Each structure stands twice: as structure tokens, then as C-alpha cells.
Structure 1
């Protein structure tokens, strides 16, 4: 990605089965997908809606972690999602993947919100548009 295209924030979506409590610990539990991949799967603000609809459509709620990009930029690789995991996702570009020994916790996460799935994610996305930067 070109320097002018870099986001201010990137996001981690955590399912309801892995609740995120504050204060955040040094290191949050890592999903099986992230463990198997060897990196933490993240999304830009523009990618969050489709990631929610594709991977989390049946989740009652999610925890959305906002990460200040400048603090993790040295550990980010911009890559295509693995086709075996995601399938084709045209138009979404490259995804930020965090390569830092699977550490995501209080030092990396700027803030956390909880979104409810109310007949789809559109309501939560619309209501939180000012937070999703």
C-alpha cells in the first residue's frame, strides 16, 4: 500500500464465544484461524462490513477491537486473504495481517466496542459509522 493510502485504524473482529473484558490483558486469546495462519487476521474500516457478513453472519454479537495503525505498522503485511479460507472477495483489496508472534492486547488495542447482530449487521455498522474510521 502506498503511504497516503494507509489507514488510521485497523480492526479485529472477535466472536461472542471469546468475550473481551476490560481492562485488556497483555495478550488476548488467539483464534484457531489466527493460530493456524501464524498471524492475526485484521480488516480496514472498509473491509469490516463484508468480513462481518461473510464470517460472523450467525454471531449474536461481536467485539470489535480498534488498533491504531501507526503503533503496529512495522508488523503489518498487506496480503490477499487465503482463498481456501475466504473464497473470492473482489474489490476489497489487500488485508492487514499482524505478524508479531500473535500478540494482541492492551498495548495494541486502542478501544473496544460491542456490536449486536439485529437481523444482520447493517444496523450496527450504520450506528457506529463515526467510530469505524
Structure 2
């Protein structure tokens, strides 16, 4: 199975504003602590939100073009042995292909931002 070409970053409203205004985002506190920016695949996104952002509102989901990041992305084992995309570098607005406020469908799954 090949890795997907798009991954997702969950951002607070403040973090999203920084990305929009500055064109770059160095990472959330957990990212800075771990040394990389945590991303999730579409299949991992809802579990990530439920586990790490429970009870939080005012969240955004940014769709990130992994191919544009090239070797800055490493797939590494994390939660439950799953392989997650980790960005070793800064997230820049030019590799974000879409973003939207976090929303869920009728089944509770996080909706993906609509890409062009």
C-alpha cells in the first residue's frame, strides 16, 4: 500500500491565524517538544481529534500536500503501531491545499476540507 499524498493538521483558531498571517507555522507546543509537526491521514484524523482535542472548540483542519514537502515528511510508527506522517520542518501556507473549521458528519467523523 502506498502512502497518501495528503495529510491533515489540526490547528487552534490562534494557530490557524498565525499560519494565515505569517504564511508559516512552527508547530504546537507538542510539536515543538517532539521536534516535528504531527500530521494525520484522513483515516487517522477523527481518532486524533477525539484523543488530543477532546472538549476543545474553535479548531481548524488544514489539508497538507505531502508531495510538496518531499523528504521533510517521515512516516513513523506511533499510536497503536500505525504509521503517521511527521513533518520535520515548518508548515508553510503554500503547501496547505485547503482548510476549514473542524466539522463532523452525522456519524461523528471529522469532515475533510474540500480541496480545489
TM value normalised by structure 2: 0.80
TM-aligned CA distance change 1:54 to 1:23, over 3 Å: closer
Query: 2:52, 2:100 → 1: CA distance?
Result: 18
Answer 1 or 2: which has greater strand percent.
Answer: 2
Equivalence for 1:104: 91
Runs of 4 or more, structure 1, over 6 Å off, are none
- Uncovered stretches (5+) of structure 2, i.e. residues with no partner: none
Equivalence for 1:30: 27
- Uncovered stretches (5+) of structure 1, i.e. residues with no partner: 82-88
TM value normalised by structure 1: 0.71
Query: 2:12, 2:20 → 1: CA distance?
Result: 18
User: Does structure 1 conserve the Cα–Cα contact (< 8 Å) formed by 2:40 and 2:85?
Assistant: yes
Aligned residues: 113
Equivalence for 2:8: 11
Equivalence for 1:73: 70
RMSD: 2.7
Answer 1 or 2: which has greater helix percent.
Answer: 2
Query: 1:41, 1:23 → 2: CA distance?
Result: 19
Larger Rg: 1
